[in-house]
Structure 1
């Protein structure tokens, strides 16, 4: 089946307005010559079909990498051999990167790596891709090509489906198991039941993948708008606990998503992970190690799990104290986490107003330092730090109302 057997035009569709971008037109002009052709493929086309935001624009081409590099050099365009052995060159035009990958055919795969050869057949290139919605191409004239015959329909329906035989697609790269659920998390309308069962059946192969690759997919999955549906599907298939190396609390995760929507908030990754499976320090350490998360994520989850236990009520004073101690965004996350754990039960309208006010609040600066105490006759040494800590605690408890003079008066009793 040729690419031309399934084509349609989108030249006047506003969702594809990006096709007129001058930088992209430069890519078309550079490569569409001497019998070669370049087409946009993957995310930009897929997202335009399903109404999502378009960020990166990736392309497929019949031209081989060395040819693209030579043409770019002649035109004065920066070309980076991003993955030249696999056929990928990045062109940087007006500061914007465009990845161009030569059409490929798989020679040999082992579930982790693939040996590929360059080709010129658009249909063959399409059929080696993962999902139908990722195998739709757009040419310079705004024509769409759907070699597999289902890509356009599935993208518009947000239907996550492997191309051809799911077992074969998975065996080519076991990461596609997680990509299947990640795409469901991002687009969320429907997954192909037979493909879902194939992923569940093949889950024993996931440990052959690097922790970094698994972690990168899981992070993207957790941040998807339909993450709860994807996580639940994985959990029902017996996959989730092993992947996270902890017990997932899907009810808590669902409550977080619901409350965040009601309060018009967007939980960040640390809050999502803490709500899902972090109760104690060891949970955070284990999850971070399993998914190869940066230390800053691990530390943030540990702090939240520890600090949230002390939140038993919420009012303006408590929220300001949390914001002073941990920052305004973390204070907001801690309150939301306490709400998710049912430690507090405020009126959501009142809470929304409190959170709005704290976002506008200027965090005060403690008015004393060690030099102030020394100038008042205190001897330099470790006690200075202890005294400052006591005075700062009193200042915070006063609602940040104690003046510098009042604090210095209090300091006299600490000598």
Structure 2
């Protein structure tokens, strides 16, 4: 029996317990009839083999998109034509979304777009995919299929390997350059030399991609557990500075990942990007524009770059002040950023407990408003806001201990 014909059952593997999901069973029941078949493919299978978390369940099917939608309508299942040109329909079953894509082959590619033809050949569908670990299928009985012959082995070894000739696969879609490093950042233990060289050789084609596609890949990449190694490989190959339009602070980024792990914190996208290449507000504006990040990400990076400069020694009082002004999560982010930007070296055991406490801390509400001051005889006008601002600063500086009456007494001296 050839590798392409080999398959194996995962019936008792706890990593595949999701295959018993009732919504997925309904999907199999709906689609596996009249000579058609559906199999789970890609991330769910790959992640289960690796032992990583499974979130989305994507499927491939021999049925044409029109038939998928027809059968869904007959069964009263919502069908969303999310990508009919490429054979993709999303079915919503019991509140769960499943992407179904008809088996296909590439007819014509130009590095950015692909014209596809639908088919019924599982082997051909597998060989048009990017990496071996993404070309593993699982049927309704829990049987795995590995048409390219290396997928299962590579997935278990966390080996990100192109299917066939790496340069040829990249030429079909230049985004695969970034996907190669993104997958390595998420799963990799060993970087395939041929794949790496092909990506470096093709880096000049990245400018032909939309900023949205580049930004989406980079956002996922920096959040991977092996992002430091992936970013370093990209930098050595000469592409990282061009993508970010700045000189990246790789040592700072690596220190952030180490400290976050030591302090049992999860660094979010805004913190990671700020540590990597944002020093001042202009950096945040530029990076958000280059990667087409939402305004909320831009504003968060600007705020962190501005506020971190005010942080000196770290204690519980400072954490509470930061949490009051910026929120609990941002307070933790700012402390981590201060550690890597200002080379502060606190007792990590104590700081870990402080960060845990501040994440659970209930932010207090300032006990005064303008009506309280007016009731005490102050005339309405701009001075009300100025007084409230001064009183709020005093209240925060007191550790939120001053009472309303104490603040009102202070207000008399501020007139």
The alignment's TM-score, normalised by the length of structure 2, stands at 0.97
Q: Shift of residue 288 of structure 1? A: 0.2
Q: Is the 8 A contact 1:178 1:217 kept in 2?
A: yes
Q: TM-score, normalised by structure 1?
A: 0.97
User: 2:148 and 2:284 mapped to 1: Cα distance?
Assistant: 43
Which 10-residue stretch deviates more, 265-274 or 5-14?
5-14
1:311-366 Cα distance to aligned partner (Å, 9 max, x none): 11112222221111111211111111111123532111121222222223322222
Q: Indicate yes or no: 2:168 matched with 1:168.
A: yes
| Aligned equivalents of 2:27, 2:104: Cα separation in 1 | 20
Could you tell me which runs of 5 or more consecutive residues in structure 1 were left unpaired when the two chains were aligned.
none
Q: 2:4 touches 2:149 (CA, 8 Å); kept in 1?
A: no
- Which residue pairs with 2:401 in the alignment? 401
Q: Distance in 2 between matches of 1:98 and 1:328?
A: 35
What are the equivalent positions in structure 2 for 1:43-192 lying under 5 Å apart? 43-192=43-192
Residue segments in structure 2 that go unaligned for 5+ positions in a row: none
Determine the structure 2 residue equivalent to 1:324.
324
**What SS does the corresponding residue of 2:258 show, helix, strand or coil?**
helix
- The answer as to 2:407 corresponding to 1:412 is no
1:8 match: secondary structure: strand
Tell me which residue corresponds to 2:209.
209
> Does structure 1 conserve the Cα–Cα contact (< 8 Å) formed by 2:4 and 2:148?
no
5 Å-filtered alignment, 1:208-247, equals 208-247=208-247
2:342 alignment counterpart: 342
**Residue equivalent to 2:310:** 310
Of 10-19 and 37-46, the range deviating more from structure 2: 10-19
Please list the CA deviations of residues 125-161 of structure 1 after superposition, one character each: whole Å capped at 9, or x if unmatched: 1100000000011112221111111001000000000
C-alpha distance in 2 between matches for 1:98 and 1:54: 13
Deviation at 1:74, TM superposition (A): 2.1
Distance in structure 2 (CA, Å) of the matches to 1:118 and 1:195:
28
More displaced stretch, 222-231 vs 77-86 = 77-86
Cα distance change, pair 348–147 in 1 and its aligned pair in 2 (3 A): same
CA contact (8 A) 1:3 1:122 kept: no
Give the Å deviation of 1:81: 1.6
Give the match for residue 258 of structure 1: 258
Query: Which secondary structure does the structure 1 equivalent of 2:380 belong to?
Result: coil
CA contact (8 A) 1:3 1:123 kept: no
SS at match of 1:312: coil
**SS of the counterpart of 1:402?**
coil
Change (3 A) 1:407 1:22: closer
Aligned CA distance change for structure 1 residues 4 and 159 (closer, same or farther; 3 Å): closer
CA distance in 2 between partners of 1:405 and 1:8 (Å): 74
